[in-house]
Amino acid sequence: MSNTKESWGSRVGLILAMAGNAVGLGNFLRFPVQAVQNGGGAFILPYLICFLLMGIPLLFIEWSVGRYGGKLGNHSTPYILDSMSKKPYWKYIGVFGIFTNIAVVAYYTYIESWTFLYVFHSIFGTFTGMGKEEISSFFDNYVNLTSSDLGIPLLPVVVYILVLAINVYILSTGLGGIEKVAKIGMPLLIFFGIVLAYRGWTMGADYASDAFPDANAWDGINFLWTPQYSSLADPKVWLAAAGQIFFTLSVGMGSIQCYASYMRENEDIALNSVTAGFTNELVEVLLGSAIVIPIAAGFLGLDWVLENAGFGMAFQTMPYLFQQWGAVFGVVAGVCWFGLLFFAGITSSLAMGTPWMGFMHDEFGWGKVKGAVSFGLIALAMGLPTVLFYQYGYFDEYDYWGGTVSLVIFALLETILFAWVFGMEKGWAEITRGADIRIPGAYKWIMKYVTPVLLLLVFIGALFTPEGNNWAGAISALFDGQLYTLDPGSLISKISHGDIKAQMLLNPENSEFLEKKMFYSTIARTQLILLFLAIAVIVWYSNKKRQSALS
């Protein structure tokens, strides 16, 4: 094991880097879509409650766990968790903290590459004169590798490698480079967001057309911000809200622990974690909700948004809408939107490289360049299939297993470790040591009981999701002593490809394509399993080295 003297240059840099880790593509792409799909204002109350009961406690836990491990010379989750218990298996649970970051960055960087390229498309006016369907097809052709865009064969692969190389270069400069990017990227991201949000809040019904005479941006805003208290009794909305909290705060990944491990022993984590968390929420709730949905509603009407809201709107719809503001502001809006997404993406993906680099430095003495390059090569090997086989669901498999299921499992286990194995008394002392604010004592009880129970319910909810997400019907059936039908999207069904098989029954004419999708999803899962096992073997070998050094 090698101790490192590297640390953050300033408190502002640390907070911005942590906020950049949390503020990612999910704030602007996933949050508005989740809100629309779960009733708009009906989503907001469960979302905010989940932030207070799950988000804040997990931030406290991960910051304190990271700082605790860092003072013992550990900068990655296998040995950070190992240092908190005498049981040897916790280091292997810590493998999730390296595995998840590599699995996520493999496909996350691909989205970054879209935003990177679309900035230049916006500047050079590629979308000028294109209709809505043409722009939508432009994106489809790009990700399906059927486009001859710019005359460069396999352009998506080229841009993906370029963006991954940018990440690797910045990572090779260490915490100083990451801090500089955060200090530049976060203010630019917020500035771009404010420009677009202001436009979304002020456009009203000025852009209603003959095709969409009822279009009004305020309809989108009102839909998102009119609370509906009935949602508090809807398990489906709670599950979606909890999932968004995980995604948006980057908890359950291991990157927060790694960043916090480079803090000084008595440096404040209470105020820092709250500041980073609330910065993320302000960006997500105030800016994320004020761009895509209001702007789309202002041009196309709320009914269109409710029918078509999805991840692809960012690339398939927004470029068309920006053009309706005129040639000059259309370019400005395009650069702001895709520039915002790029900075949101890269500040998050940089955080994903640090757990691997910290681990390889501590255990094998690897320097920054070697650690960064090796991370880049592993991410490339994992990520290229997500580019080449995007249409067959390779990307989606990584996102589900690496970017969703793994997060919940790891967060649940580390919460149990912190509150019940390490001990809540010791944990609370660690959180409050050097704190610049007084944390409400209620959080001591919340972290020990409420947060782990909620995490367990989220996991069980994903595991046994009822058909159509009809939780009310499922709970009623269980009280009547009957089993209910699982949804094809439930974790159990997905293990056996129940979701794809359901599509085959509904669309037998697409069976050939769906069979290919099932084949590639199996390959993707195999690749993820092999990655996890490979990291576990490296951790096992490093442990042998440690034991040999002590004997």
pLDDT in tens, 59-81: 999 999 999 999 999 999 999 99
* Residue 509 scores a pLDDT above 70: yes
pLDDT given at position 489:
81
Mean pLDDT of all residues in 484-507: 89
pLDDT given at position 29:
84
Mean pLDDT of all residues in 13-35: 79
Closest CA to 267 of 439, 6, 10, 2: 10
Mean pLDDT of all residues in 180-187: 88
pLDDT band at 8 (very low <50, low <70, confident <90, very high): low
- For the ranges 50-54, 109-113, 261-265, the lowest mean pLDDT is seen at 261-265
pLDDT band at 111 (very low <50, low <70, confident <90, very high): very high
Taking the C-alpha atoms of residue 502 and residue 487, their distance in angstroms, rounded to an integer, is 10
pLDDT given at position 118:
95
pLDDT given at position 6:
66
* Residue 1 scores a pLDDT above 60: no
What secondary structure does DSSP assign to 460-524, as a single string? HHHHTPBGGG-HHHHHHHHHTT---PBPTTSHHHHHTTHHHHHHHHH-GGGHHHHHHHHHHHHHH
Mean pLDDT of all residues in 226-253: 78
Taking the C-alpha atoms of residue 243 and residue 408, their distance in angstroms, rounded to an integer, is 8
Most confident range (mean pLDDT) of 17-21, 294-298, 522-526 is: 522-526
Per the model's pLDDT, the better-predicted residue between 243 and 151 turns out to be: 243
Whose tokens are 């590639």? That residue is 520
pLDDT given at position 149:
62
Per-residue CA distances from 244 to 27, 72, 247, 284, 505 (Å): 9, 33, 5, 11, 31
pLDDT given at position 21:
74
pLDDT given at position 94:
96
- Helices 96-123 + 155-172 axis angle, to 10: 120
Per the model's pLDDT, the better-predicted residue between 153 and 115 turns out to be: 115
* Residue 2 scores a pLDDT above 50: no
Alpha-helical (H) ranges within 209-326 are: 217-225, 235-249, 255-260, 270-282, 292-300, 302-308, 313-316, 318-323
Q: Is residue 415 part of a domain?
A: yes
Q: For residue 297, give the CATH number of its domain.
A: 1.10.4160
* Residue 235 scores a pLDDT above 80: no
Q: What's the mean per-residue pLDDT of the chain?
A: 89
pLDDT given at position 151:
63
Q: Is residue 472 part of a domain?
A: no
pLDDT band at 431 (very low <50, low <70, confident <90, very high): very high
Share of the chain above pLDDT 90, in %: 50
Domain membership of residue 450 as a residue range: 13-226+234-463+497-550
Mean pLDDT of all residues in 266-291: 87
The two tokens of residue 215 are 């279009």
Q: Is residue 397 part of a domain?
A: yes
Q: Would residue 231 be called left, alpha or beta, if left means φ above 0 and alpha means ψ between -120 and 50 degrees? A: alpha
Q: Is residue 487 part of a domain?
A: no
* Residue 160 scores a pLDDT above 70: yes
Whether the CA torsion 74, 77, 82, 85 is positive or negative: it is positive
Q: Is residue 473 part of a domain?
A: no
pTM given for the model: 0.91
Mean pLDDT of all residues in 168-174: 94
- For the ranges 235-244, 378-387, 412-421, 468-477, the lowest mean pLDDT is seen at 235-244
Mean pLDDT of all residues in 160-181: 92
Contact 85, 319 (CB under 8 A): no
Mean pLDDT of all residues in 170-189: 88
Q: Is residue 485 part of a domain?
A: no
390's CB contacts (< 8 A; 6+ apart) are 110, 143, 144, 145
Number of domains into which the chain is organized: 1
Q: Is residue 118 part of a domain?
A: yes
Contact 220, 302 (CB under 8 A): yes
Mean pLDDT of all residues in 185-213: 90
pLDDT given at position 209:
87
pLDDT band at 445 (very low <50, low <70, confident <90, very high): very high
Q: Is residue 170 part of a domain?
A: yes
* Residue 4 scores a pLDDT above 90: no
pLDDT given at position 148:
61
